[in-house]
Amino acid sequence: MIANTTTKTTAAPAFRTGDERLIKLTAGAATKVSTLLTKQGRPNGVLRVAVVGGGCSGLQYKMDLQDAPANRDILVETAGVRVVVDPKSALYVTGSELDYLDTLDGGFKVKNPNAATSCSCGESFSA
């Protein structure tokens, strides 16, 4: 009798590597993201930047801290931080800069050259 010996292999996610032409973080944003990743116990984690439907202008940014890139993601290392963007969101954020302002009306701000219009609060845009 022949034994059925199958071995399970867990392949690492298949992601691509991009550069700062896709998305760039300022020093302030990089410091804040690094601090948040460390507080969450993810010093080697990534910042996910996505564009989803919603908001006053039709599209809005969604940001999340995660452990690693997922399949099909584009990984960009900028200002010492690893940022991942899915291929669909990459169409909307190419050339963007993410900044962080530590003020009352601050927080994360996206400067997006692809945004045709944005709402007054800066949380959503249309392309």
Q: How far apart are CA 52 and CA 125, in angstroms?
A: 10
| pLDDT for residue 106 is more than 70 | yes
Mean of pLDDT values over 72-78: 97
Using only C-alpha atoms, what is the Rg of the chain? 18
Higher pLDDT, 119 or 98: 98
What local confidence, expressed as pLDDT, does residue 12 receive? 67
Per the model's pLDDT, the better-predicted residue between 124 and 126 turns out to be 126
User: Sorting pLDDT into bands at 50, 70 and 90, what band is 104?
Assistant: confident
pLDDT value at residue 55: 77
What's the DSSP call for residue 67? S
Token duo for residue 107: 């927080």
Contact 75, 83 (CB under 8 A): yes
For residue 18, give the 3-state DSSP assignment: coil
Q: Specify the pTM.
A: 0.83
In whole angstroms, give the CA distance from residue 5 to residue 82: 39
Q: In this structure, what is the dihedral angle of CA atoms 109, 111, 112, 115, given to the nearest 10 degrees?
A: 80
